[in-house]
Amino acid sequence: MAKKNIFTDAFGNIYFLKRFIIFILGMISYRRFNGFNKLKISGSENLVDLPTTNVLFVSNHQTYFADVAAMYHVFCSVNNGYINTIKNPVYLLNPKIDFYYVAAEETMNKNFLARIFKLAGAVTVKRTWRAEGKNVNRMVDMSEVENIMKALENGWVVTFPQGTTSAFAQGRKGTAKLIKNQKPIVIPIKINGFRRAFDKKGLKIKITGTEPTLQFKPALDIDYDKDSASDILDKIMHAIEQTPEHNILHEYDQELEAKKNAQEQLTKNESE
């Protein structure tokens, strides 16, 4: 597979241009995370001693772009020695440029701004289950899998195993299969509050004075010889807190359903 060099990354993107784009987008977005709203970061010490390649970050997803933008800020900040803070934006002058994120091709080709974001490090994939707002059923494009592997071999990659911004959506086994095959270090990220602070695209501020959070957890303990793809997916979904036991609304719905069933049973008994 292609390798990066001193001028370009593994996909042929010019480093100078990536640095410029990350700097400009970072300056534009900075006050969204340390001004209008205050991003709370924890666990970024778990990033300090990571290798420069074959590290996969798995995260839940709440907006199209704000989630990744916040991660860029943290990665660049840690790259310059700052832990759990983005208060000194000087880090944008020395960004982490061998960082990639997996994104839906449909999203990244929608408009000019999305294409600019794409140049910052997007590895695009076609969703196999949904396209243009409709359910689909298509095969995985293996060239896209190879691109993710290429990104891992040349840097850090973040992916969203649910493939959607919907909370508590099921995880996709494709991520787990990739992990079992590539054997990366897997760092879970739990995000919260982005949906409240920003619109769905993550471009407009919906409300100010909030404290969205980014929590970087320790690397997952994965036995690549014994753990199946299903086992790995279960560990991921639990770590990013997208399983039913973390869903307060799910418990509330269950309580409502139990009360409804009890009432129906009572009414049935009374009618008999």
Q: Residue 247's pLDDT is what?
A: 80
Beta bridge partners of 102: 123
Comparing 104 with 51, which gets the higher pLDDT? 51
Query: What is the share, in percent, of the chain residues with pLDDT greater than 90?
Result: 71
- Angle, in degrees to the nearest 10, between helices 229-239 and 173-182: 110
How far apart CA 74 and CA 86 sit, in angstroms, is: 6
Q: Residue 143's pLDDT is what?
A: 85
Closest CA to 130 of 169, 175, 167: 169
Q: Among the listed ranges 171-175, 222-226, 253-257, which one has the minimum average pLDDT value?
A: 253-257
pLDDT tens across 15-36, in order? 999 999 999 999 999 999 999 9
Q: Is 73 left (phi over 0), alpha (psi -120 to 50) or beta?
A: alpha
CATH code: domain 15-241 is: 3.40.1130.10
Q: Among the listed ranges 122-131, 176-185, 237-246, which one has the minimum average pLDDT value?
A: 122-131
- pTM for this entry: 0.86
**Best-predicted range by mean pLDDT (100-109, 137-146, 234-243, 263-272):** 234-243
Asked if residue 8 has pLDDT above 90, the reply is: yes
Q: Residue 129's pLDDT is what?
A: 54
Q: Residue 184's pLDDT is what?
A: 97
**CB contact at 8 A, 151 and 100:** yes
Quick count: other Cβ atoms within 10 Å of Cβ 208? 11
Q: CB-based burial of residue 108 (10 Å sphere; 0-12 exposed, 13-18 middle, 19+ buried)?
A: buried
* Alpha-carbon separation of residue 170 from 25, 162, 225 (angstroms): 31, 6, 25
Half-sphere exposure (Cβ direction) of 52: Cα atoms closer than 13 Å: 6
Comparing 120 with 252, which gets the higher pLDDT? 120
**CB contact at 8 A, 119 and 134:** no
Integer-rounded Cα radius of gyration of the chain = 20
pLDDT tens across 127-175, in order? 765 655 666 566 677 888 899 999 999 999 999 999 888 888 899 999 9
Amino acid at 100: Y
Query: What is the share, in percent, of the chain residues with pLDDT greater than 70?
Result: 89
pLDDT tens across 88-133, in order? 999 999 999 999 999 988 888 888 888 899 999 999 998 765 655 6
How far apart CA 115 and CA 107 sit, in angstroms, is: 9
Asked if residue 252 has pLDDT above 50, the reply is: no
Q: Among the listed ranges 47-51, 137-141, 249-253, which one has the minimum average pLDDT value?
A: 249-253
Q: Among the listed ranges 129-138, 175-184, 211-220, which one has the minimum average pLDDT value?
A: 129-138
Q: Residue 264's pLDDT is what?
A: 73
Mean pLDDT of all residues belonging to the chain:
89
Q: Residue 18's pLDDT is what?
A: 95
Asked if residue 253 has pLDDT above 80, the reply is: no
User: Collapsing DSSP states into helix, strand and coil, what is residue 26?
Assistant: helix
